[in-house]
Amino acid sequence: AQQAPAGNGPAQVKISNLNKTFHRGKEAVHVLRDISLEIAQGELLVLLGPSGCGKTTLLRCLVGLEKPGQGRVELGDTTVVDADARVFVQPNKRDVAMVFQNYALWPHMKVAANVAYPLKARKMKDELKNGRVHEVLQVVQCDHLADRYPPELSGGQQQRISLARALAPRPALLLLDEPLSNLDALLRIELRAQLRLLHRELGFTGVYVTHDQEEALALGTRVAVMKEGQFEQIGPPAEVYSFPATEYVADFLGARNRLELHTEGDGRATVAGVPLEGFVRPGLGGRFALRLRDADPVLRVAGTPGDEDRHWITGAELIEVLPAGDHAEHVVRLGDQTLFVDVPATRGVFEPGAKVDIGLATDSVLCYDADGRLVRD
Ligand code: ATP
């Protein structure tokens, strides 16, 4: 049998009309719903979405651990899945490497042997193999750990080794399934930065699964937000962050505050029954939803002067203040709606129970129509 070749390097990936349904007794769960996507050579695509939306299933279809019911996957010039043509290349014959959340290193093998394993499987010559092992261990700054066993390493070190093992054969495609989520917060941020640097230096083609929006925005050349087995939006991080196409995406990217806006065709608008002067953005009459990030609005004590460029909503009450170092999270009630507002620590203190006004800046407010679609001016 032919082994996947070592050293072909990053490839372009083309996924066409991929469908996957799991059957549990009489129940059928349609987990991937006609997914199509092209990933450019050298691109690091991040899949972002809540638990159960199908991220891992998509990775498993790419590596060959799941067989899709319909659809096609091409890696460079090689078709690895074509359901219609009954093509299904086994995982060990695909030039795809995977990094898992739990590192999945062999505990009884030294670090160097772990990293060498995929090269051995691909029948790389010993001289070349040893060189490559040290090269990738250097890349992840773990060359000094070559003679240790995985249980003797920290979580962060183990994850670096597992990354080195995946990178060693220079796979056409590297899959990363929440690789940082077992690490503590500081280490996660450090490794995230290293991974970004690695990607820039090595230019591997990768698909990275996470449900952490910061990680997605920091690492992705593009971010694909998934909902129930489909892509809700795909785009560069800055675009997905600044212009979430739907309320679902907005919610997922931190714009968790929601205010209902009622407009009359003539430009009059109300939020929670409070007139909002000069806020004419949607133009047409109807119901809209405003979405705000915690850092977007500002507060003032009711009726006191505030920034005149902002639109002020009156009649809110401060419920709770939660200090968070450089800022404090303010929980604000407006009618039956609750908002979370970050106030910088330098901006003075508001007391719980105080009547406050909420100041919105038009350029940071996201506005959605009744179907949950972004209204862009
Ligand atoms: P998480 O972030 O929790 O890992 P995910 O987005 O990766 O979630 P998947 O693991 O792809 O989600 O699962 C998607 C759906 O498919 C879930 O509803 C899950 O229960 C179901 N599912 C996954 N594997 C199987 C299986 N082998 N048999 C039946 N159902 C499955």
DSSP 18-77: EEEEEEETTEEEEEEEEEEEEE-TT-EEEEE--TTSSHHHHHHHHHTSS--SEEEEEETT
Which H/E stretch holds residue 164?
helix 155-167
Identify the CA nearest to 218 among candidates 240, 244, 249. 240
Give dist(CA 45, CA 176) in Å, integer: 10
Which amino acid residue places its CA nearest to atom 30 of ligand 1? 22
Domain borders along the chain are 13-242, 250-368
Q: Top-level CATH class of 13-242? A: alpha beta
How many residues are present in the chain?
377
Using a 10 angstrom Cβ sphere, with 0-12 exposed, 13-18 middle and 19 or more buried, the burial of residue 316 is: buried
CA 56 – ligand 1 centroid, Å = 7
Helices 126-139 and 185-202: angle between axes, nearest 10 degrees: 130
Amino acid, res. 7: G
Q: Top-level CATH class of 250-368? A: mainly beta
Identify the CA nearest to 306 among candidates 361, 259, 364. 361
CA 355 – ligand 1 centroid, Å = 46
Provide the ipTM: 0.95
Helices 155-167 and 111-121: angle between axes, nearest 10 degrees: 20
* 323 touches ligand 1 (CB under 6 Å): no
Q: Which residues have CB under 8 Å from 366's CB, separation 6+?
A: 243, 244, 250, 255, 290, 291, 292, 374
Give dist(CA 27, CA 293) in Å, integer: 39
DSSP state of 97: E
The whole model's pTM is what? Answer: 0.89
What is the best residue among 20, 27, 56 to mutate for testing ligand 1's pocket, by most ligand atoms within 8 Å of CB?
Answer: 56
* 49 touches ligand 1 (CB under 6 Å): yes
Tens-level pLDDT at each residue, the chain (377 residues): 344 445 578 999 999 999 999 998 899 999 999 999 999 999 999 999 999 999 999 999 999 999 999 999 999 999 999 999 999 999 989 999 999 888 889 999 999 999 999 888 777 888 888 888 998 899 888 899 999 999 999 888 999 999 999 999 899 999 999 989 888 888 889 889 989 998 998 899 999 999 999 999 999 999 999 999 999 999 999 999 999 999 999 999 999 999 998 888 777 888 878 887 666 555 667 888 999 999 999 999 998 888 888 888 888 999 999 999 899 999 999 988 899 999 998 776 788 999 999 999 888 889 999 899 998 77
